[in-house]
C-alpha cells in the first residue's frame, strides 16, 4: 500500500468526505548527480555570506524580499509559512465545472485521493456523483503551507486531485515574435497533409511509448563503466526542408507502405487508457468511440471521404 502524504476531508456543500492524498506520479529519471569533472569528486553546495565570505549555518538563513536594489524585507521561515494560517486540512470545493472545459495547460500536479478513515461510503458517493455528472470539482486546499487551486475528478475507480495553474501563470504566446509564411499552404498541400495525418491516426496507448532514451543512457553508462570511451557523433541537426509538397508525398509513400506497423492493429488490443491498469478503465467522458478504419492500410488515394471527415469545416 502506498503511503499517504496528507489526510483531510473533501467538503462540498455540507458533505464531508474523509480522504487521504497519494502521489499519482513518480519520476523515472536516471539519478544523476553533479560531480567534479577533474577528479570525479562530489560537489557540495555551500551557502556563503557575501559580506563575510564565510559559510552560513542553516539556522542563520532568512528569506529576503527585494523591494529595491539591494534592499530587502526580511522574513523568517515561520513568517513565510504563516501566510496561510494553520492548516485546515480541508479541500473546499467551490464549484463544479464541465471537465471538457478545462484546458490541459491548467493541470499542474496529479494526486490520487483515497478514502480516509470511515470515509468509504462518502467516497463512493462522491465518486459516483462526479462520474455520473461528468463534472470536476474546483476548490482549494492548503498543502505544504501553500494554498492551491485544485480540480477533482474521477479516473477509473479513483478520484484524482490535480493542482491547477492560475490563469495569469499561463502564456499563450501573445508576446512571442511569430515569423509568418510568405505564402500560405496550398489546398493541395493541405489535402496531402490531411492524408498523412490520417495515416498516422492512432489511439492513445500510453504503454506503447517506452522511454528508450533512459535505456540508451543506461546502456552507455554500462559501457563506460567497463572503461570504454564514448564517441560523440557529429551534429544531428537536419536542414530545413524546402519542397513541402514533395516531402509530404514522399512521407505518404513511406508511411503508407509496409512501414505502417502496429498502430491500428495494436490499438485493437484497446486496453485501458487510464492508468491504474486493471481497475476498469472508464475513459474520461465520451472517450473513445470505436473508429472506422479510415487511414488504415497502405496505398490510399486522396479522396474526400478518406481524409478524416470528422473535423469538418
Partner 1 sequence: MARSLWTGSLSFGLVTVPVGLYSAVRDRDIHFNLLHGPDSSPIETRRVCAHEQTEVPWGEIVKGYELQDGRWVLLSDADLEAAAPRKSHTIDIEAFVEEREIDPLYLDRPYLLVPENEVAARAYALLSEAMASSGKVALGRFVMRAKENLVSIRPRGGLLALTTMRFHDEVRPSTEIVKDLEEAPAPSEEEIENAIAIIAELEVPFEPDGYRDEHRAHLEAIIKRKRKGQKIAVPKQEPTKPAEPAPVAPDLMGALEESLARIRGQAPDKHGTSGTAKAASKAGTSGTAKAAGKAGTAGKTKTAAKPKRKAPAAKKAPAKRTGGAKRA
Binders in 137-166 for partner 1, by CB under 8 A: 137-138, 140, 146-149, 155-158, 160, 162, 164-166
- When asked if residue 301 is in the footprint of partner 1 (CB under 8 A), the reply is no
Interface residue with partner 1 among 190, 257, 265, 292 (CB under 8 A) is: 190
How many Cβ atoms from other residues are within 10 Å of residue 10's Cβ? 26
Distance, CA of 142 to CA of 140 (rounded, Å): 7
Least distance from partner 1 to the Cβ atom of residue 256, Å = 10
- When asked if residue 271 is in the footprint of partner 1 (CB under 8 A), the reply is no
Nearest to 125 by CA among 138, 111, 117, 115: 115
> How far is residue 217 from each of residues 99, 224, 234, measured CA to CA in Å?
38, 10, 18
Interface residue with partner 1 among 5, 6, 216, 259 (CB under 8 A) is: 216
Residue 107: DSSP 8-state: E
Query: How far is residue 3 CA from its own chain's centroid?
Result: 22
Torsion of CA 282, 286, 292, 295, to 10 degrees: -90
Interface residue with partner 1 among 69, 152, 178, 292 (CB under 8 A) is: 178
Least distance from partner 1 to the Cβ atom of residue 143, Å = 10
- When asked if residue 201 is in the footprint of partner 1 (CB under 8 A), the reply is yes
Q: Which of residues 219-258 bind partner 1 (CB under 8 A)?
A: 219-221, 224-225, 230-233, 235-238, 240-242, 244, 247-248, 250-252, 254-255
Q: Which of residues 87-126 bind partner 1 (CB under 8 A)?
A: 90, 93-98, 100-107, 110, 112, 114-126
Count the residues of the shown chain that bind partner 1, applying the rule CB under 8 A: 200
Q: Which of residues 18-57 bind partner 1 (CB under 8 A)?
A: 18, 22-52, 56
C-beta separation of 117 from 18 below 8 A: yes
DSSP 3-state assignment of 93?
strand
Least distance from partner 1 to the Cβ atom of residue 295, Å = 9
Interface residue with partner 1 among 5, 170, 269, 302 (CB under 8 A) is: 170
Give every CB contact of residue 205 below 8 A, 6+ residues apart in sequence.
266, 267, 269, 271, 273
The most distant pair of C-alpha atoms in the chain lies apart, rounded to whole Å, by 76
Least distance from partner 1 to the Cβ atom of residue 147, Å = 4
Distance, CA of 271 to CA of 278 (rounded, Å): 9
Distance, CA of 130 to CA of 121 (rounded, Å): 14
Least distance from partner 1 to the Cβ atom of residue 265, Å = 13
| Beta carbon nearer to partner 1, 174 or 293 | 174
| Beta carbon nearer to partner 1, 132 or 301 | 132
Interface residue with partner 1 among 5, 69, 202, 299 (CB under 8 A) is: 202
Amino acid at each position: 500500500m502506498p503511503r499517504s502524504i496528507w489526510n483531510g476531508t473533501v467538503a462540498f456543500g455540507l458533505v464531508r468526505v474523509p480522504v487521504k492524498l497519494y502521489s499519482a506520479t513518480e519520476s523515472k529519471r536516471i539519478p544523476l548527480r553533479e560531480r567534479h569533472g577533474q577528479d570525479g569528486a562530489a560537489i557540495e553546495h555551500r551557502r556563503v555570506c557575501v559580506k563575510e565570505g564565510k559559510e552560513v549555518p542553516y539556522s542563520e538563513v532568512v528569506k529576503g524580499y527585494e523591494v529595491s536594489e539591494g534592499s530587502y524585507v526580511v522574513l523568517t521561515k515561520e513568517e513565510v509559512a504563516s501566510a496561510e494560517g494553520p492548516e485546515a486540512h480541508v479541500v473546499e470545493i467551490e464549484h463544479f465545472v464541465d471537465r471538457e472545459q478545462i484546458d490541459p495547460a491548467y493541470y499542474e500536479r496529479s494526486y490520487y485521493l483515497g478514502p480516509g478513515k470511515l470515509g468509504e461510503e462518502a467516497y463512493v458517493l462522491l465518486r459516483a456523483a462526479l462520474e455520473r455528472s461528468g463534472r470536476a470539482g474546483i476548490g482549494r486546499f492548503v498543502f505544504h503551507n501553500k494554498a492551491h487551486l485544485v480540480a477533482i475528478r474521477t479516473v477509473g475507480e479513483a478520484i484524482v486531485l490535480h493542482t491547477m495553474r492560475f490563469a495569469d501563470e499561463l502564456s499563450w504566446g501573445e508576446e512571442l515574435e511569430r515569423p509568418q509564411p510568405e505564402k500560405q499552404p496550398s489546398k493541395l498541400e493541405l489535402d496531402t497533409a490531411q492524408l498523412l495525418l490520417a495515416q498516422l491516426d492512432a489511439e492513445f496507448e500510453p504503454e506503447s511509448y517506452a522511454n528508450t532514451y533512459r535505456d540508451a543512457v543506461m546502456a552507455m553508462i554500462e559501457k563506460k563503466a567497463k572503461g570504454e570511451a564514448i564517441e560523440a557523433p557529429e551534429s544531428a541537426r537536419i536542414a530545413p526542408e524546402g519542397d513541402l509538397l514533395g516531402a509530404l508525398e514522399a512521407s505518404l509513400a513511406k508511411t503508407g507502405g509496409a512501414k505502417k506497423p502496429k498502430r491500428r492493429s495494436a490499438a485493437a488490443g484497446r486496453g485501458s487508457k487510464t492508468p491504474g491498469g486493471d481497475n476498469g478503465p472508464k475513459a474520461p467522458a465520451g472517450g473513445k468511440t470505436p473508429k472506422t478504419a479510415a487511414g488504415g492500410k497502405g496505398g490510399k488515394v486522396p479522396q474526400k471521404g478518406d481524409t478524416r471527415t470528422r473535423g469538418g469545416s
